[in-house]
Structure 1
Amino acid sequence: MSLEIERKFLVTSDDFKQNAYQKTYIKQGFLNSDKNRVVRVRITDTNGFLTIKGKSNTSGTTRFEWEKEISLQEATQLLALCEEGIIEKTRYFIKQNKHIFEVDEFLGDNLGLCIAEIELENEHEVFTKPDWLGNEVTGDVKYYNSAISKNPYKNW
């Protein structure tokens, strides 16, 4: 169990791809997408994960997170039980000084949406913003994956 401290930004160009040191395909769904808690099932290439996230603080930067690796078979079975609106995306990992940006390029009904996240040690930690980083959307529920699964980008 831990607290997750992260900030989210829109991405303004594909320039991040030239600095990515890794990428992975992600398919995920939600067993529960209540505003007070989210239970997510995720498959990344060949691994499965079950994650529980609590409600965000008022700034949207910090919330409880618990994650456990599960077998690919278990994740596939749980994905079949998820609420409607499975999300698919490619995640790119970009190192920027001591931080790592995770950039999600969404697929399917969310094609065209691209969001960068950075995990921090505290809410006020200073970090270098790459040129491709756009407007901050931290705390904007509309950009939460659980919200995107219900109201995909194509409908905006």
Structure 2
Amino acid sequence: MIEIERKFLVRSEAFKSSAVKKERIVQGFLNTDPLRTVRVRIKGDKGYITVKGKGNRNGTTRFEWEKEISVKEADALIKLSEPGAIDKLRYYVEAGKHMFEVDEFFGDNSGLIIAEIELGHEDEDFLKPQWLGEEVTAITKYYNSQLSKNPFKNWKG
């Protein structure tokens, strides 16, 4: 129930040719309080509800609880969500013994591409592909819950 994750910007679309799978994700947030985020998601042909706690100081570790629900339930809950649903295409890209999840955003977050990697511990080494850019793990504006409130299109250079 503890998630250890790091986030990075992506320099190029070179990751697409290495993807082993991709799927569409639509998600809404029932609560975007940084202490407890509640997300509802339709990922492919499955629905999920997820509760995330506040991250540690460097943003790498936080509580996460997720439960599968029906797509019908997820769709109904997304309609009740706060404004700013997230629409993205997720690519799964193997790099060494790890899997990067690379999200290409659409709608108000179009143009943003973020790669995430889940780790077994905070200091775990991992292969960094050429397309991997600046680390943004601790920068909260890159959290999906924050992108729903302040989308990429609103950011100033």
TM beyond 0.5:
yes
Instruction: Name the count of aligned residue pairs.
Output: 155
Counterpart Cα distance in 2 of 1:40 and 1:91: 17
1:118 aligned residue: 117
Match of 1:155 in 2: 154
Counterpart of 1:50?
49
Identity of aligned residues (%): 62
How far, CA to CA, are the matches of 1:138 and 1:78 in structure 2? 28
Aligned to 2:108: 109
Gaps of 5+ in 2: none
Summarize deviations over 1:4-37 as a string: whole Å, max 9, x none.
0000000000000000000000000000000101
Structure 1 residue ranges without an equivalent (≥5): none
1:145 Cα shift?
A: 0.3
- Cα distance, 1:45 vs structure 2: 1.8
Partner residue of 1:35? Answer: 34
How far apart are the structure 2 equivalents of 1:45 and 1:125? 30
1:25 is paired with a residue of what secondary structure? strand
Q: 1:153 is aligned with what amino acid?
A: F
2:6 aligned partner: 7
- TM-score, length-scaled by structure 2: 0.98
1:103 deviates by 0.1
> Which stretches of structure 1, 4 residues or longer, exceed 4 Å deviation after superposition?
none
**Partner residue, 1:86:** 85
Map of 1:69-84 to 2, 5 A cutoff? 69-84=68-83
Report how far residue 132 of structure 1 moved: 0.2
**Match of 1:141, as an amino acid?**
T
The one-letter code of the counterpart of 1:11 is V
The two structures, once aligned, show a CA RMSD in angstroms of 0.4
Partner of 2:33, secondary structure, is coil
Alpha-carbon offset, residue 98 of structure 1: 0.7
What does the per-residue CA deviation read over 1:71-109, in whole Å, with 9 as the maximum and x for residues that have no partner? 010001100110000000000000111100000000001
State the AA in 2 paired with 1:13.
S
Distance 2:85 2:110 in 1: 13
Q: Report Cα offsets for 1:49-87 as digits up to 9, x if no partner.
A: 000000000010000000000001000110011000000
